[in-house]
Structure 1
Amino acid sequence: GPNYKWVWKAKIPLKIKIFIWQLFQNAVLTRDNMRKRNWPGNPSCSFCRDVETA
């Protein structure tokens, strides 16, 4: 897979590193990802009404 060493070497808080890594892995629970897991809710963004994606 892709090389994510730059994420772990960056001088940013650990929780931000983990979030960035999850974002690149498409593991952040956005509404489109939750729909793939049979979430019954509305997939549109609360702000712009487009389908929410990472």
Structure 2
Amino acid sequence: GCNFKWIWRAKIPLKIQIFLWQLFQDFVLTRDVMCRRGRPVCAFCNGRESS
């Protein structure tokens, strides 16, 4: 796997570190990830996902 030690050693808030780690692991449900998983709509309102 990839080495993410640079994220944990960075002098940034923990919530930003966790978000970056999730982003690089494809855990953040962006539009393209949702389309790859077969869900191109918003998980909360069932409307089209947009930025």
Query: Please, what TM-score do these two structures have when normalized by structure 2?
Result: 0.66
Q: Which amino acid aligns with 1:6?
A: W
Query: Please, what TM-score do these two structures have when normalized by structure 1?
Result: 0.64
RMSD: 1.8
Question: Post-superposition, which runs of at least 4 consecutive aligned residues in structure 1 deviate over 3 A?
Answer: none
Higher relative contact order (Cα pairs below 8 Å, separated by 6+ residues): 1
Q: Percent identity?
A: 62
User: What 5-or-longer segments of structure 2 have no aligned partner?
Assistant: 42-47
User: What 5-or-longer segments of structure 1 have no aligned partner?
Assistant: 47-54
